[in-house]
Amino acid sequence: MLRKIVEINEEKCTGCGICITACAEGALKLIDGKARLISDVYCDGLGACLPACPADAINIIERDAAAFDEEAVKKLVEAKDAQPEPLACGCPGSSVKVMEQSEEECSCHTGVAVKSQLGQWPVQMKLVPVNAPYLENAELLIAADCTAYAYANFHQEFMKNRVTIIGCPKLDNVDYSEKLSEMFRLNEIKSITVVRMAVPCCSGLVNAVKNAVLSSGKNIAVEVIILDTSGQIISDKII
């Protein structure tokens, strides 16, 4: 039958495996360092894996394919639950994990007592899976990647007790709206704090969040904090 189904560009695929965790049906598998569709019957063609792919290697096409089989998917998922596989990830930097920070301060190599407030990995927008377990019921921080360098107390004031995601709409050269929308739709997000620089390109980060909240159908409070290049807060408002 002619229907919509995923197609993976093997030349673009980096083997990070993020699409595999994003596919609830288990239709994708990492084989020989590349993501592969293991069977047409497992793919519903809805494309939850598309916004998860940092390499833009997945498309939805229309071709002759076997019909999507919900019963087959159910059996596949049950089998995987009974014997879970290691995280499908060819890139260690994309491996999803939650980190428990010690209550005690950690001393860095300079001897100055510091404490990281980063509680999860990855943090880069293009690498964070839309269904990462740490997103559920999260207080979300979405920050332009320059902000942590500009604001001296970034960890304590912004990252503490929040899930941190960073990005740069100019350098990443992508519209984050679609991925963020799917992220908000799949998870209960308690609040969103956006920290950006007072430069024009950073407005793309705020616009992406606003558009994503709207298209997700969720009612999520969004606080936008703007820093100047000297690290001073020049604006703090709820949108």
Q: What mean pLDDT comes out for the span 92-101?
A: 68
Q: What pLDDT does residue 105 have?
A: 57
Lowest-confidence region among 14-23, 83-92, 187-196, 229-238: 83-92
Q: What pLDDT does residue 88 have?
A: 46
Cβ 105 vs Cβ 114: under 8 Å: yes
Q: What pLDDT does residue 27 have?
A: 94
Length of the chain: 239
pLDDT at 203 over 90: yes
CA angle at 126 for the pair 55 and 38, rounded to the nearest 5°: 50
Q: What pLDDT does residue 181 have?
A: 92
Q: What pLDDT does residue 207 have?
A: 95
Comparing CA positions, the residue from 11, 92, 117, 6 lying closest to residue 51 is 6
- Digit-coded pLDDT (tens) for 139-169: 999 999 999 999 999 999 999 999 999 999 8
Q: What pLDDT does residue 38 have?
A: 94
Gap between the Cα atoms of 123 and 1, Å rounded: 40
Comparing CA positions, the residue from 122, 232, 176, 54 lying closest to residue 195 is 232
Average pLDDT, the chain: 87
Lowest-confidence region among 29-38, 108-117, 198-207, 219-228: 108-117
Cβ 134 vs Cβ 119: under 8 Å: yes
CA angle at 87 for the pair 83 and 88, rounded to the nearest 5°: 105
Which distant-in-sequence residues (6+ apart) come within 8 Å of 153 by Cβ? none
- How many percent of the chain have pLDDT more than 70? 88
Gap between the Cα atoms of 77 and 191, Å rounded: 31
- Digit-coded pLDDT (tens) for 19-72: 887 898 999 988 877 889 999 999 999 988 988 888 889 999 999 999 999 999
